[in-house]
Amino acid sequence: MGSQPPQKPGLVVFDLDYTLWPFWVDTHVTPPFFLKGPNIVDSDGQTVKHYLEVPQVLEFLKNEGIPIAAASRTSEISGANQLLDLFGWDKFQRETGLPYTSMIFFDDEERNIRDLSKVGVHCVFVKKGVDMKLVKDALLEFPKKFHPHTK
């Protein structure tokens, strides 16, 4: 009896810039960031927001029991980590030793999609930020890569 292919990914990885939030953290905002009332602001007092459905997406994946991680090529690592903390998303992050074939990766840059697809990661191109439909569609498509003829 052969092993059953996974129905769910072992890990969902999100790029940050223009995937979870609508800016480049190393260019469009000025770290460090602060809580100011209900908002997060940068050092210039500019309010920093994420894409609308991102908290709902992260909670959904957590409730599905799917670990979540962030990956970014940003040069502003401390600022990106600070935003993950201030948005309360650091609680979702996990480190795993999982194979690439068990991962889904969401990114707005085609070069990253191309590179990671080559090593077996199920990649999803993000055009205008992550939302629930994009994530749910990806979760439906994921098992099909193990059974390409499944409708």
CB atoms within 10 A of CB 4: 7
- Backbone phi and psi for residue 12, each to the nearest 5 degrees, phi listed first: -115, 125
85 flagged as catalytic: no
Q: Which residues, including other chains, have CB under 8 Å from residue 96's CB and lie 6 or more apart? A: 10, 11, 67, 69
Task: Check 15, 42, 107, 108 and give the catalytic one.
Answer: 15
User: For residue 22, what is the DSSP state?
Assistant: S
Tell me which residue has tokens 């460090």. 32
Task: Check 17, 42, 107, 108 and give the catalytic one.
Answer: 17
User: For residue 17, what is the DSSP state?
Assistant: B
108 flagged as catalytic: no
**By C-alpha distance, which of 106, 115, 109 is closest to 138?**
106
Positions annotated as catalytic residues are 15, 17
